Structure 1
Amino acid sequence: MNKDTEDTLALMDAKRIERSLKRIAHQVAEDNKASKELVLLGINKRGYAVSEMLCRYLKDLLDNPIACNRLEVKKNSSSKTDFSLQGKYVLLVDDVIFSGTTMFEALKLITRDHAPDEVHTVTLVDRGHRKYPIIARFVGLDLPTKLDEHVHLELKNGEPFTVILEKSLH
C-alpha cells in the first residue's frame, strides 16, 4: 500500500480485500442454512466487481446454484431487471456504503418487480452516516469517517485492487 500521501490513505490492499471477501463468503455460507439458490446483485461497476470476486469464493463453499448479476442503480430509476429473484436468497453487494441511498434505491428496484425469499446487504467498506435505515449485514471493514472524507474502491483490470480514503483538504 504505497499510495499514501498527505490527503489520501490506502485502507485495504488487494490481499486484505481478498481476505475480507473470503471471510464474508464463509459468513454467507453459514447464513444460507436452507441452501437456497443464491443470487448476488452487484450494484453498478464497483459493486459488481466486488460481487464477482465474492461469487468465486462462494462457489468453493456452496453446492447450491449461485448467480452473479449486475444491477444498475440510479436515483429514482424506473428500469426493470431481466432476471428472476422469486424464491431466491439475494445479496445486494456494493463497494462502499455511506448514506444508504444507493442500497435503498436497489431495494426499491428489486422489490418492485420481485419477491425474493431473503435479501441481505454486503459491502466492502461501511462508512456509517446513514440517511436511510439500511444496515450492512456482511461487512469487510467498518470505518467511521468524517462527512467531508471520501472512500472509494479502485479497480485494476476489473478486479478490486485497493480502497482509498481521501481526507478533507481543509
Structure 2
Amino acid sequence: MTPQSHQQNLILDQGQIEQKITRMAYEMYEQNFEERELVLAGIYQNGYTLAQRLAQKLEAISPLKVQLLQVQLNKTTPLEAPVILTPTDINLDGKVVVVVDDVLNTGKTLAYTLNAFLPKNPKKVEIATLVDRHHPLYPMAATYTGYSLATTLRERVEVVLEENEVAAYLL
C-alpha cells in the first residue's frame, strides 16, 4: 500500500501517532510510578511493534525497567491454538502487565490473551491500544487509549507501523 492510496482515509499521521505514544507512555508511568518494572505484552504483529515503541518512550521518560513480551494467537479462531508468550522465561508473578494491541474492536483478542496471563499471577493487567473503535462484545476496556474513534461495523482501521510509513487509516 502506498501512503497516497489511502490519503483521504488517513486518521492519524506519523506525528500524531508519535504524540499518542508519548502521551500513553506518560500515562503508564503515572499509573505505575511506584513500580520498578513493567511488562509490555504486545500482540503480534502490530501490537508488539507498538509495545516496542512504548517501551523505548517509557525508558526515556522514567526510571522503569521495561520487559517486552510477544503474544501470538490465532485472532480468528483463538481456541484452535494456544496463546504463545515469547520469551517464555519472563516471570510475571506480582508484576504489572500491560497488554498492547494496535486496534481494540470487539475485545475478543484481548479476552483470549488473558488466559495466558492469569495463571502467572500478575499484580494487575492493563490494556493499551492505539485506536479504540468502541464495538465491545467482550468486557474489555482500554486503560490507555491513543485515539478513540466511533466506526461502523463494516469499516476497518488499519494501523501501519513500519520504518518507511507510520499511519492509521479508516477503510
TM-score (structure 2 length as normaliser): 0.88
Number of matched pairs? 162
1:102 corresponding residue in structure 2:
109
2:98 corresponding residue in structure 1:
91
The answer to whether the 8 Å contact 1:153/1:160 transfers is: no
1:60 corresponding residue in structure 2:
60
- Ranges in structure 2 where 5+ consecutive residues have no aligned partner: none
Q: Deviations over 1:107-148 (max 9, x none)?
A: 112213x11101100000000111100000100000010010
Q: 1:118 aligns with which of 121, 124, 129?
A: 124
Q: 1:148 aligns with which of 154, 157, 168?
A: 154
SS of residue matched to 2:9: strand
**What is the Cα deviation at residue 78 of structure 1?**
2.2
Structure 1 residues 4-153: aligned runs within 5 Å = 4=6, 9-74=9-74, 75-76=78-79, 77-81=81-85, 82=88, 83-112=90-119, 114-153=120-159
SS of residue matched to 1:110: helix
- Ranges in structure 1 where 5+ consecutive residues have no aligned partner: none
SS of residue matched to 1:85: coil
SS of residue matched to 2:138: coil
RMSD of the alignment, in Å? 1.8
**What is the Cα deviation at residue 64 of structure 1?**
2.8
**What is the Cα deviation at residue 155 of structure 1?**
2.8
Q: 1:165 aligned to 2:165?
A: no
SS of residue matched to 2:157: strand
Q: Deviations over 1:16-70 (max 9, x none)?
A: 1000010001101100032242000000110001110011110012213211121
**What is the Cα deviation at residue 89 of structure 1?**
0.9
**What is the Cα deviation at residue 160 of structure 1?**
6.9
